Copies of this chain bind each other. A is one copy, B any other.
Amino acid sequence: MAKKNIEETIINAAAKIFLEKGMDGARMQEIAKAAGINQAGLHYYFRSKERLFNTVMKKRVRAFFRSFAETLPQADDFETFLKSFIENYLDHINKHVLFMRFVIWEVQRGAPIMSEAMKEAVDGGDLPLNMFLEKIKIAQEAGIVRVVDPTQFMITTVSACIFPFIARPVLENVFQFSVTGNEFLRMRKEEIYRVLWNGIKKQ
C-alpha cells in the first residue's frame, strides 16, 4: 500500500475511535488495530497521539464546514428555501451526529486544536453562512417575514435541527419514546418547518 493510502487509512480509523471515545478515552492500541497495523507503526507515521489527533481534526473540521454549502437550496422564495434547508440540513446532521456531539464536548473540554481548526475553516471561507442570513434580510425587506435578528433566527433553526439528534439517547429516556431513525427524522422535518415558518412569516 502506498504511503498516502496508509496515512489515509490510519486517519479514518483514528477518526472513528476519537469520535466515539473522545481524545481521553481513545487508545492508540485500538486505533492501530482498527487501521490494521501495530502501535509502533502508528507512531512511525504520526509520531504522537496528540499529532494524530490534530491531523485528524484539522481535516475533519474543514471537510465538515465545507459540506455545509451542500445543504443550502437554490430557491428564491423564502418559504421554499427554509423548508428545503431544514430537510437538507437534517439529512446532513443525521450523517454527522457523532462528529457534532464530539466537537461540542472537545471544545469545552479544552482541546486547543478544535478552536484553532474551526477558526481556520471560518477564516478560510469554508462556511458560507452569509447566504442564509442574506435570504432572511431580503425576505424581510420584501415584507415576507417579520423583522428579527437574522443570526438569532438562524441559531434557533440549527438548534431545533441539531439538538434532538445529538441528545437523542437522553431524549429517549426523558420522553420515553422509541421510534426508528427514519421515522424520527421525518417527524422532525415536519415539526421544525411548521413551527419556524409560522414563527417568522408575516401574517
**Which A residues form the contact surface with B (CB < 8 A)?**
20-22, 24-25, 98, 101, 103-105, 107-109, 115, 118-119, 122, 127, 129, 146, 148-149, 151-156, 158-160, 162-164, 166-167, 169-171, 173-177, 187-188, 191-192, 194-200, 203
- A181 to B15 alpha-carbon distance, docked (Å): 33
Among candidates B24, B122, B156, B198, residue contacting A191 with C-beta atoms closer than 8 Å? B156
Contacts of A21 in B (CB 8 A): 24, 109
Contact B148 A195 (CB under 8 A): yes
Q: Which of B103, B146, B155 contacts A164 (CB 8 A)?
A: B155
A171 to B22, alpha carbons, bound, how many Å? 20
A175 lies within 8 A of B155 (CB): yes
A-B contact pairs, 20 of them (CB 8 A): A22-B109, A24-B24, A25-B109, A104-B104, A105-B105, A115-B173, A122-B174, A146-B198, A151-B177, A153-B195, A154-B175, A155-B164, A156-B191, A159-B162, A159-B164, A162-B163, A162-B167, A195-B196, A195-B199, A197-B199
Q: What are the residues of chain B within 8 A of A171 when measuring CB–CB?
A: 155
- Cα distance, A171 to B152, chains bound together (Å): 11
**Could you say which of B108, B164, B169, B197 contacts A108, with CB atoms under 8 Å apart?**
B169
User: What chain B residues lie within 8 Å of A153 (beta carbons)?
Assistant: 191, 195
A36, B135: Cα distance in complex, Å: 56
Q: What B residues does A98 contact at CB under 8 A?
A: 108
